[in-house]
Amino acid sequence: MVILGAGPAGLVLGNLLHRGGIDCVILERASRAHVQTRARAGFLAANTVRILERHGLAEGLHRRGRAHGTCEFRTEGGGFRLDYSGLGLGEQHTVYPQQYLVTDLLTQFLDVGGRIHFDTEAVSVLGAHCARPSVTVRAPDGRCGPWRARYVAGCDGRHGAARRSLPPGAVRRHHRDHGVSWLGLLVEAPPSLDAVGYAVHDRGFAGHMARTPDVTRYYLQCERDSPADTWPEDRIWDELELRMHAADHGPLHRGRIVQRAVVSLESDVLEPLRHGALFLAGDAASVISPSAAKGANLAVLEAEILARALIDDLGHGDGRGLARYSAQCLAHIWRAQDFSQWMTQLLHGPSGSDGESSFHNSLRRARIESLRTSRSQQDWFAENYVGV
């Protein structure tokens, strides 16, 4: 078994296959240092934690992760908090930065004899419908050669070799550009509130997400294609305080901005997720806007589903799980996409003053008011916010 990519999907899959007695190797185009330090998501859903616990992969998050069950909405009409851990199914998140999770998974895989080749780029997947497909790989010294296996798992993202290798007409691609961009910021400063903060303002959305006691993630809605380095730090903090309604709720804890990047909110889903011996998981299968923190959680869920199916097939000759893999994962993906779309529309509105923009902004205010006042709406929100 060849696994492309050492992100959450590839590493969970590798750990589960190795524990199930399936020989596998992970090929990762980046260096080990890069894989272990790239800052991505940080909110693990309750089901994600259960999956990691079920397979003995949760020691690090139990030691360093923090339970989190509250979010706060701030608007010009006032703010309100939702203790979502007491709503819906009564579940909460665990705050655990993705680079910590990846480091845990990577260390555990290597400690039990798992094989990872870093700085090794998969160029293409060939013969996916043959008995033994091959992966053309560029080694660290620049030489190319084939790796052959019974199955290939494409966990190498939306721009990786797995997606690139799909023949024309083999998949149906569902794509949506939400027309929204965020300036994502990682700041050396303690959280400014004890909740995830979603701020709605006429100047655009602002978000606050704790990562560790000393590091906080902020988001600022910005113009499309706006370079990240054009925002001076003083302007960033002034804009954050304005949109977070700091005059009403208190100033933000300021600190050094250590990372910044512009993120365009997009959704992208491929159907089906199986092509002969090639299976897609994680961002190779679907991309979801970050407004609802679903991406890494979907990746872990898909990895467990695929691992079970592969173990049944390779260990017991039962291919029914592999036949169901695509449909089973897509059911979860589309439910997550639906909630993410709802969140995106809740937090962002058109900036124009025409009648259509006014209509959409009025709908948005009505949705926020329903979330503030309706217990049934709050229960629905909580179930979908934490669920995958």
Residues labelled as active-site residues: 68, 198, 290, 294, 385
Burial degree of 168 (CB within 10 A; 0-12, 13-18, 19+): exposed
Burial degree of 105 (CB within 10 A; 0-12, 13-18, 19+): buried
DSSP state of 167: P
Closest CA to 305 of 174, 153, 125, 156: 153
DSSP state of 112: T
- CA–CA distance from 110 to each of 102, 113, 185, 263, 312 (Å)? 12, 5, 32, 33, 24
Strands (E), 111-168: 115-117, 121-126, 134-138, 144-148, 152-154
DSSP state of 194: S
Q: Tell me what percent of the chain is helix, strand and coil, each rounded to the nearest 5.
A: 40, 25, 30
Q: How many CB atoms are closer than 10 A to CB 291?
A: 24
Q: How many CB atoms are closer than 10 A to CB 345?
A: 16
Can you spell out the DSSP letters for 271-336? E-SEETTEEE-GGGTEE--GGG--HHHHHHHHHHHHHHHHHHHHHH---HHHHHHHHHHHHHHHHH
d(CA 221, CA 204): 5
- Residues 307 and 3 sit within 8 Å (Cβ to Cβ): no
Q: How many helices (H) and strands (E) does the chain have?
A: 12, 20
Q: Are strands 66-68 and 71-75 parallel, antiparallel or unpaired?
A: unpaired
Sign of the four-CA dihedral 122, 126, 128, 130:
negative
